[in-house]
């Protein structure tokens, strides 16, 4: 199987939501890893840029994509949208 075919078979999970709702914690839980995505204790967003992490071992079929809060409109700009589009293209699309 070629790499593009492998990427198309992976499940891509986009973590989308407001600041402080646990998107990054959920990503860590899904991937069965601690601190793969930075997590904070405050209502200030820890996620400053789009972050892509691939699962390993029994989670190798997963790609988790953590994006900055949509709520933080001054922080969420065209750059993040372009980053998301680039990531989707590099991952072989959305399934």
Cα–Cα distance for residue pair 78/93, rounded to 1 Å = 20
- Which whole-number Å values give the CA distances from 60 to 8, 21, 47, 64, 90, in the listed order? 13, 25, 23, 11, 17
Joined tokens for residue 32:
């069965």
pLDDT digits (tens, 9 = 90+) for 65-83: 888 776 665 555 777 788 8
Q: How many CA atoms lie within 13 A of 83 on its CB side?
A: 15
Mean pLDDT over the full length of the chain: 79
pLDDT digits (tens, 9 = 90+) for 13-31: 888 888 888 889 999 999 9
Q: Identify the structural domains of the chain with CATH numbers, from first to last.
A: 3-90 (3.40.50.300)
Place of tokens 């995505």: 37
* Residues 77, 64 contacting (CB under 8 angstroms): no
**Quick check: 32 pLDDT over 70?**
yes
pLDDT digits (tens, 9 = 90+) for 39-68: 877 666 666 778 889 999 888 899 998 887
**pLDDT score at 76:** 59
Mean per-residue pLDDT, 1-9:
54
């Amino acid at each position: 199987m070629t790499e593009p075919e492998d990427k198309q078979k992976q499940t891509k999970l986009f973590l989308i939501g407001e600041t402080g709702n646990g998107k990054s914690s959920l990503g860590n839980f899904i991937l069965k890893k601690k601190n793969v995505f930075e997590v904070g204790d405050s209502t200030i967003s820890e996620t400053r840029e789009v972050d892509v992490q691939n699962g390993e071992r029994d989670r190798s079929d997963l790609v988790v994509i953590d994006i900055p809060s949509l709520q933080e409109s001054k922080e969420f700009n065209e750059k993040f949208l372009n980053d998301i589009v680039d990531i989707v293209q590099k991952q072989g699309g959305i399934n």
